[in-house]
Amino acid sequence: MTVPPALDAQAVARSIEAALAEDLAARGDVTSLAIVPAGLRARAHLVAREPLVVAGVPVARAVFSRLDAEARFPLAADDGRSALAGERVLTVEGRAAALLAGERTALNFAQRMSGIATATRAAVDEIAGTGATILDTRKTAPGLRSLDKYAVAVGGGTNHRMGLHDQAMIKDTHLGAGISLGDAVRACLASGLPPAAVTAEVRSVAELQEAMAAGAGRALLDNMSLDELRACVAIGKGRIVLEASGGLRPGRLRPVAATGVDALSLGYLTHSVTAADLAMDLERLP
């Protein structure tokens, strides 16, 4: 089982506050307030309706705790483990009204995050034994980047740059300003960035050679054919980190990884995520 990375507690809190404000606004859960007795206690189970990789259980717990500080959690599956259809991944006991008010918010987080983790695990399994790694991208849901990337890591993928602030990536849109690829790499290095934090997007062997000559530590091999990837591996392997990218999807990953590239970056893990099927069952406590 993958050992989950640390969640960003502040990012989780911000996301939960925004989600609850969106759902409850100033009036709260008007349905539950109208029909559920204030003192009624209940037990709720988050249940996998399909096989999945669990992710987001700590976030779901935080949702319920935010609404009921005395909520108890007799069962909480570890993020990163596989769950079968019908398996409970979280049990929470507390005020029934609070559990109902938090149901959709908790599920929205857990379903999205488990969907990302499940897709990532499938991608990692598809390229197993090739020596390549699966990377994520910045194509995340606005405001949920740290949670999306956490889910990728839970699924066995590797987090790439968190944002524009921590690593440079020179893309064709930057070159549209009129600077050459080599000069762009040199400018990034001159700004104080180490080579390992400078990625050059390249679309040919010639551009790869230009990026290497300028001192880039990483090359994003954009939308290349398998033959083009092999040609880049032949001249760059061991000298620069080679990252294949561009429309990579399930079922098409292993041939790319088998070319010898170091990594595959997959935007679909987070921009086209299919939410995992989780639901909440609730029962009254005596």
What local confidence, expressed as pLDDT, does residue 5 receive?
A: 76
What local confidence, expressed as pLDDT, does residue 6 receive?
A: 85
| 231-271 pLDDT tens trace | 999 999 999 999 999 989 999 999 999 999 999 999 999 99
Are 134 and 174 in the same domain?
A: yes
Centroid of chain to Cα 135 = 10
For residue 159, give its domain range.
129-271
User: 261 exposed, middle or buried (CB, 10 Å; 0-12, 13-18, 19+)?
Assistant: buried
| 45-103 pLDDT tens trace | 999 999 999 999 999 999 999 999 999 999 999 999 999 999 999 999 999 999 999 99
Domain presence at residue 112: yes
The pLDDT of 175-186, averaged and rounded, is 94
What local confidence, expressed as pLDDT, does residue 177 receive?
A: 86
Domain presence at residue 78: yes
What local confidence, expressed as pLDDT, does residue 44 receive?
A: 98
Do the beta carbons of residue 83 and residue 54 sit within 8 Å?
yes
Where does the pLDDT of residue 274 fall: very low under 50, low under 70, confident under 90, or very high at 90 and above?
A: very high
Give the pTM: 0.95
What local confidence, expressed as pLDDT, does residue 4 receive?
A: 62
Instruction: Please count the structural domains in the chain.
Output: 2
Domain presence at residue 1: no
Q: Report the alpha-carbon distance of residue 76 to residue 98 in Å, rounded.
A: 18
Domain presence at residue 30: yes
Are 263 and 176 in the same domain?
A: yes
Domain presence at residue 236: yes
Res. 111: pLDDT tops 50: yes
Looking at the annotation, which residues are catalytic?
A: 104, 139, 171, 201, 222
CATH of residue 63's domain is: 3.90.1170.20
What local confidence, expressed as pLDDT, does residue 3 receive?
A: 54
